[in-house]
Amino acid sequence: MVRWVDEIYDEWMSLAWDKGSFDGGLFRSEEDTWGFNDPPEGKTKDEIRFNEAPIKGPRFMMSEIFEVLENPNPTATAKNERYEIYKPYFPEEIYPKVIFDQDQTKQLDILKTDINTYVTKMTAKFILEGNVDAGWDDYIKTLNNMGVEDLVQIYQDALDVYNG
């Protein structure tokens, strides 16, 4: 049992536990690189992996092991490519989970019901009919009349409390 636990921390053993054995789904070269073997006719890489990888359990995989990858999993490669495409558009900060007091919650319920309904309706209209520029000023004016500034202030006050 102790040997098994010790093996969890071997990066190559952890890789085999997660991706499959080096006799089947994976290969390890003399240069200490690894990659996926082509599956036999009629099988997928996932089938090989699920048949060979004992469990999705304890393992220890350092990021350095992925630097020696010879032929990466095409799904992971595609995912990483999509990630790089969208990365510049990710927000720099994400609004945290804040706690609203009872009065703020009541006010939010009132404001968000109408504002969210209006925003959803207008988003659909702008997408289907276009002409966003012509209707934008009226859209903003309507949101202001509905109390969007109060809504923003409630969120700002909760964020101020959160930030202490």
Per-residue pLDDT of the chain (164 residues; tens, 9 = 90+): 677 666 666 666 766 766 666 666 777 777 767 777 777 788 777 777 777 765 555 555 555 555 555 555 566 677 778 888 998 998 988 999 999 999 999 999 999 999 999 999 999 999 999 889 999 999 999 999 999 999 999 999 999 999 98
Do residues 104 and 154 lie in contact, with contact meaning Cβ atoms separated by under 8 Å? yes
Angle, CA 37 vertex, CA 33 and CA 38 arms, to 5°? 145
Question: Side chain identity at 146, as an amino acid letter?
Answer: M
pLDDT of residue 83: 85
**How much of the chain exceeds pLDDT 70, in percent?**
68
pLDDT per residue over 99-116, tens digit each? 999 999 999 999 999 999
Taking residue 49's Cβ as centre, other Cβ atoms within 10 Å add up to 19
For the chain, domain boundaries: 2-89, 102-163
pLDDT of residue 106: 96
Residue 121: both structure tokens together:
């309706």
Tell me the C-alpha distance between 64 and 2, whole Å: 25
Closest CA to 155 of 115, 119, 101: 101
Tell me the C-alpha distance between 74 and 81, whole Å: 10
